[in-house]
Amino acid sequence: MKTWLFKSEPDTYSIDDLQKEKTCFWEGVRNYQARNFLRDEVKKGDFVLFYHSNCKPPGIVGLAEVIKEGTPDPFALDPKSDYFDPKASEENPRWYGVTLKFLKKYPKALSLEEIKASKELEGMLVAQKGQRLSIQPVETKHYKRIETLCAV
């Protein structure tokens, strides 16, 4: 059982959108390192910390669960989609996504500033400079601490 951190710009897709829809297919990841995680390592039952980026304040706002492991991203094959990739095909899908289920929105969001200030959360990838990866593994001890910090 692993924990992940997924980044999303709330203007594009927020935790509130996920709460409304209950489940969603996490499409549009177009980075190979993140793709590899989605295709090979994100497993059913894993937890996903939902992170809002490019907003004020950026931070962790909720929790989701993986209910379906990596499947090809159909948006890569759709010429009308913003996520269309001419190099992707049915035989060689190139890009993958997973399906998430909404679990909760944290009573208290945890801002990036707070993450950086926390001794216990030291080493989290998201707090590191220049870290742009949109799918990141999270250590269990960090996840547990976050659950505590966000509970109230």
Partner DNA sequence: GCCAACGTTGGC
Contacting positions for DNA (CB under 7 A): 7, 9, 30-33, 53-56, 58, 112-113, 126, 129-134
**Helix and strand numbers, DSSP H then E, in the chain:** 4, 6
Q: Which residues pair with 3 in a beta bridge?
A: 47, 138
Question: With respect to DNA, which residue has the nearer C-beta, 32 or 84?
Answer: 32
CB 83 to DNA: min, Å: 10
CB 111 to DNA: min, Å: 8
Structure tokens at 61: 């706002």
Element at 114 (helix H, strand E): helix 112-117
Question: With respect to DNA, which residue has the nearer C-beta, 9 or 44?
Answer: 9
Q: Which residues pair with 100 in a beta bridge?
A: 24, 66
Question: With respect to DNA, which residue has the nearer C-beta, 103 or 112?
Answer: 112
Are 43 and 88 in contact by the 8 Å Cβ rule? The answer is: no
CB 140 to DNA: min, Å: 22
